[in-house]
Amino acid sequence: MKIDKVETFLVRWGDVSQPAEAAFGAATAVVAVHADGLVGLGEASPMQGGVASLAVIARDMAPALIGGDPLDHAVMLDRLLHKLIKLGPDGIVTGAYAALDIALWDLKGKALRQPIHKLLGGAWRTRIPFYASIGGNAARDVDGVVKTVEARLEAEQPSAIKIRWDGTRSEIDRDIKGDIAKARAVRRLVGDHFPLAFDANNRYSVGAAIRVGRALEELGFIWFEEPVEYYHVKAMGEVAQRLDITVSAGEQSYTLQSVAALIDSGVRMVQPDIVKMGGVTGLMQCAALCHAHGVEFVPHQTQPAIGNAANLHVLSTVMHATKPAELADGWSRSADTFVNAPRPDGGCMVVPDGPGLGLVVDEAMLARRRVAVTG
Ligand code: CA
């Protein structure tokens, strides 16, 4: 096989009558890799619309890929990552790498007419329980949090719920008592046995995290996510070691080495994101690292179609799946571009079984929503 074209573009959500610039931050960042008449699709991390990662692909990576064999993809991508490492291995470059990796796995699956999970070794399960990941709760009062959770329970019938704080990134310990009151109100709403998780989005000091964590233990929450700043790796590990509740982190880890550092610090549940670190290949490496250390592997995943499908393929192949998969707010925002984007189905999502990612594109809709990004 031979790669003959690499395209980078945004797929806009919502109202396409708005000017193209309105797409930045309200779109999916997509790469399409063409070879032998087939097209593989990948997605980059959505931060700032993913535009920076797409520009790196278009300007710095695509020329080196043209003429290459998609079946040599790991060698090609690792060569590029190391060539560009001084652009910063955390973030923009790893987002670009992840997008290309997913696209090349999609292409490989299409060429071999097999779903990605078959190429990875097979699925332990093809229905994956999901949790509704509900953001923006720092800004709501107790009643607002309860109403929001109630609406998501009814609309999606998830297997579990995670309440996210999403507070102001430059503030910590803003309303500890209020946060605990919201967690308590959600527990009251769902009853004693429904699985709940709490995502602090890095908004506590160590002392506050211990206090909130103790309350969550009493309320029977099953995990406490990113209690302190992600870059305070030792502090994250300290909180994890001092609490009984499972403490998780890793959605802001961009390399296998930084996931290893989190595990070394004492974190025992890690959450790498397929569109941020390494794509399908990176997540499989992470799963192996977790398995070697007896650490729970529970990927972070917020993207509606490509990222979600790629994540489900990986999750289906993991023997010990201890927690449900993430289904974030706004999961349906690009469903119209993909005819069969995974959606809630009796508390689960079904892993696509077509070749590659198994996503079927509505070409007319894609043409309407597409905005080119060039280097
Ligand atoms: Ca999170």
CA atoms of 65 and 345, how far apart (whole Å): 38
Distance 226 CA to ligand 1 centre (A): 7
CA atoms of 354 and 338, how far apart (whole Å): 13
- Residue 325 banded pLDDT, cuts 50, 70, 90: very high
CA atoms of 42 and 107, how far apart (whole Å): 10
Distance 362 CA to ligand 1 centre (A): 31
Distance 76 CA to ligand 1 centre (A): 31
Which residues contact residue 191 at a Cβ distance below 8 angstroms, ignoring those fewer than 6 apart? none
Task: Choose among 38, 51, 63: nearest CA to 9.
Answer: 51
On the question of pLDDT at 21 being above 90, the answer is: no
- Residue 13 banded pLDDT, cuts 50, 70, 90: confident
Per-chain residues with Cβ under 5 A from ion ligand 1: 199
Distance 120 CA to ligand 1 centre (A): 27
Set out the domains of the chain in order of their start, with CATH numbers.
Answer: 3-113+361-372 (3.30.390.10), 118-350 (3.20.20.120)
CA atoms of 115 and 159, how far apart (whole Å): 25
Distance 174 CA to ligand 1 centre (A): 18
- Residue 15 banded pLDDT, cuts 50, 70, 90: confident
Q: Residues 75-109: pLDDT tens digits?
A: 999 999 999 999 887 889 999 999 999 999 999 99
pTM of the predicted model, to two decimals?
0.97
